[in-house]
């Protein structure tokens, strides 16, 4: 297994860096729920982010991803602010609300989900392989590595989807959860994230994902009934049946993150 999972794009620094597998300081209680690996096969385990580290990137490739961590923290904070506004307005008399807008940058958040999925998969080696090219878990496909570093981009059907049920009331909970999605028993084709209560699927395989893929901990995520919305642009939040505010996901800008 290569010491730096980004070695496929070359120019590695000779010194390894200890990487947080999930961005430190993301928010919430400083933990992540993980399910689907040998040590948490069927039930999610809550792990402190500070303890989830590994020498899986060289110093250069690790430091180059700091802007993605910042983008994820801003997205998490925007969803937290939207939740706080919901809580405030739920205590007030129902009315026609002054609709407020929150913003999230989609492209860097998509790349953060990819980086985080690779980190967690590489740091938990087992018998799984990458579905895109059949390579070993410690050697992600070069195309995915190039996307993480902004040298390429996902093309549909690869990329980020929001997973929602029609008419669903989302619980914007203060946590992050990750589970790998496998086909043929050991081929990684996607990752499922719950990111401050919003469910996202990151498709890493060049076909539409079949709904019979097993999902660890499926009792919490209604995987088979959810609609998958590619590059979702807007998340509406209603209070007392009236539109209160919305989260706009911007996909056409990525300032300072090339």
Instruction: Name which residue leads in pLDDT, 129 or 21.
Output: 129
Q: Which residues contact 57 (CB under 8 A, 6 or more apart)?
A: 4, 5, 6, 16, 17, 19, 65
What three-state secondary structure class fits 67?
A: helix
Distance CA 11, CA 57 (A): 12
Rounded Cα–Cα distance for residues 104 and 92 (Å): 27
Q: Give residue 102's pLDDT.
A: 97
More confident residue, 194 or 257: 194
Q: Residue 70, by phi and psi: left (phi above 0), alpha (psi -120 to 50) or beta?
A: alpha
Burial label, 2 (beta-carbon count in 10 A; 0-12, 13-18, 19+)? middle
Interstrand relation of 187-195 and 129-130 (parallel, antiparallel or unpaired): parallel
Q: What is the per-residue pLDDT across 101-143, written as a single tens digit (0 to 9) for each? A: 999 999 999 999 999 999 988 888 778 899 989 999 889 999 9
How far is the C-alpha of 39 from the C-alpha of 29, rounded, in Å?
A: 22
Higher pLDDT, 172 or 187: 187
Comparing C-alpha atoms, which of 202, 194, 189 is closest to residue 219? Answer: 194
Which of the 8 DSSP states describes residue 7?
G
Measure the CA angle with vertex 219, ends 247 and 88; round to 5°.
35
Q: Which SS3 state, helix, strand or coil, does residue 199 take?
A: strand
From the list 245, 234, 218, the residue with the least C-alpha distance to 96 is 245
Residues in the chain: 258
Which residues partner with 36 through β-bridges? none
CA gap 102, 121 in Å, rounded? 31
Beta-bridge partners for 57: 17
pLDDT of res. 244: 95
Q: 105 is written with which tokens? A: 């940058």
Sign of CA dihedral 233, 237, 238, 244: negative
Question: Residue 1's pLDDT is what?
Answer: 43
pLDDT tens by residue, 22-45: 877 676 666 788 888 777 777 888
- The predicted-structure confidence for 214-228, as pLDDT tens digits, reads as follows 766 654 456 667 788
Residues 43, 33 contacting (CB under 8 angstroms): no
Confidence of residue 201 (pLDDT cuts 50, 70, 90): very high
109 near 115, Cβ under 8 Å? no
């Amino acid at each position: 297994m290569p010491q730096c999972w980004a070695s496929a794009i070359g120019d590695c620094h000779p010194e390894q860096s200890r990487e947080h597998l999930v961005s430190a300081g993301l928010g919430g209680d400083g933990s992540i729920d993980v399910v689907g690996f040998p040590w948490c096969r069927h039930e999610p385990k809550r792990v402190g982010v500070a303890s989830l580290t590994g020498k899986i990137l060289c110093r250069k490739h690790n430091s180059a991803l700091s802007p993605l961590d910042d983008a994820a923290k801003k997205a998490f904070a925007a969803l937290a602010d939207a939740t706080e506004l919901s809580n405030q307005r739920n205590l007030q008399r129902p009315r026609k609300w002054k609709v407020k807008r929150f913003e999230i940058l989609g492209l860097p958040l998509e790349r953060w989900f990819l980086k985080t999925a690779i980190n967690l998969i590489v740091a938990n080696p087992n018998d799984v392989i990458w579905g895109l090219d059949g390579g070993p878990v410690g050697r992600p496909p070069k195309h995915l590595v190039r996307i993480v570093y902004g040298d390429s981009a996902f093309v549909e059907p690869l990329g980020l989807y929001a997973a929602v049920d029609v008419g669903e009331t989302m619980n914007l909970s203060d946590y992050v959860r990750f589970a790998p999605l496998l086909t043929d028993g050991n081929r990684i084709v996607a990752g499922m994230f719950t990111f401050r209560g919003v469910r996202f699927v990151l498709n890493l395989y060049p076909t539409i994902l079949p709904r019979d893929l097993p999902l660890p901990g499926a009792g919490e995520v209604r995987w088979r009934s959810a609609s998958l919305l590619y590059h979702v642009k807007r998340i509406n939040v209603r209070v007392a049946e009236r539109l209160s505010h919305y989260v706009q996901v911007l996909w056409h800008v990525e300032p300072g993150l090339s």
